[in-house]
Amino acid sequence: MSNSPSQGTALITGASTGIGAVYADRLAKRSYDLILVARNEARLKALAARLMSETGRSVTALAADLSDKPGLAKVESILRDDQTITMLVNNAGVASVAPLLNASVEKMDDIIALNITALTRLTYAAAPAFVSRGAGKIINVASVVGISPETLNGVYGASKAYVLALSYSLQHELAAKGVRIQAVLPGATATEIWDKAGLPLKDLPASIVMSPEDMVDAALVGLDQGELVTIPGLHDGDEWTRFEATRRALSKRFGNAVPAPRYRIGASASADRARRRA
């Protein structure tokens, strides 16, 4: 049982099992009260009861389908109005391993609705509230496929690239306002998402599969260390540092009025057109 002061309330989506359930356990032990969101009410209530018994924290189970507008709106309202919430963990998501030509567009639409639309709306509900109080943390669980979209289904990879890009932008806009952003990029993690995506976990090489406990523990250390992007499975952190430095340097060289010489467009004609537009 914990008698330590509350760190506020963490709202965790996709909290009934896997990564979300481990976040719930670890954050309760870090003295956070919890609001746990998922579709499976029975699992949520069982987890909430266990965590309340083990930690003494306040834990609320909130059954909601975030791909359904009424369910999403209910959680958005809580994020806007509950002044105790100090952390949002955007963990809910769905995956696919199907090639483009074998994938149902309806399934792809489901991925977009949960991985992108719901995450965006919850972030937009939480961020202004955190800014108004001058403090808050938003943890976005993305994936390494966000920077390696060829690995699995393209829409799934694109949805996680969106999460990473949004996290960069949020950090850029909100860091000076007291809001911490972290994007977590797990690799293969031992959760139910694989079976649901059509690739049984048992078919993956054991050498690449991380436990959700190790993944979340590493992510929370990354949060403590102030990382914007945390990749638990990348052993050489300097590789990411170099990648980031190259990306940022390259982004400064995109803006030119004249196309690059490799496109063989007359430089003088391009310059004339640029002058006429000015």
Residue positions annotated with a catalytic role? 156
* Token digits of residue 154: 């393209």
Distance CA 194, CA 203 (A): 10
Count of beta carbons in the 10 Å neighbourhood of residue 226: 8
Contact by Cβ (8 Å): 92, 14: yes
Contact by Cβ (8 Å): 138, 181: yes
DSSP E strand boundaries for the chain: 9-13, 33-38, 59-63, 85-90, 136-141, 179-184, 229-230
CA angle 130, 180, 186 (to 5 degrees): 125
